[in-house]
Amino acid sequence: MDDVFSFINTNFKWLSALVYFAFVGVLAWLSTRFVTRAEHKELKQKVITLGHSMEYVKADMKHMPTKEEVHRLDKTLSGLAETINATQEGISRLERKTDLLLENELRND
């Protein structure tokens, strides 16, 4: 095998140089194309951390109301607001009547 390489190197220097440059080019391309082991470990750790964070978010979202529940609560609160307004109007009418009765009572004395 050594004889073959030495024969090619002595007789076909341009071919061995071309193969050498092609090999260096492939290595350069691979080094820019793929990440290093340290970067891969760092990215793997980030993905694991994001996975844990996503689990916490999903667990928190289970306790949150759905769209339908929020809509139902909104309708209930609207109904309560109308009821409170109607009650306030009734209280105002009663207050006016009470004031009139009190005035009449004070005039009679």
Structure-token pair, residue 33 = 């194309």
pLDDT above 80 for 5: no
> Are residue 79 and residue 40 in the same domain, yes or no?
no
Domain that holds residue 87: 66-109
How many structural domains compose the chain? 3
> Are residue 80 and residue 44 in the same domain, yes or no?
no
Which of 19, 22, 23, 16 has the alpha carbon at shortest distance from 7?
A: 16
pLDDT band at 6 (very low <50, low <70, confident <90, very high): confident
Q: Give 43's contacts (C-beta < 8 A, 6+ positions apart).
A: 35
> Are residue 77 and residue 105 in the same domain, yes or no?
yes
> Are residue 55 and residue 92 in the same domain, yes or no?
no
- The model carries a pTM of 0.42
Greater confidence (85 vs 35) lies with 85
Q: What is the largest CA-CA distance in the chain?
A: 138
Structure-token pair, residue 60 = 């928190």
> Are residue 60 and residue 70 in the same domain, yes or no?
no
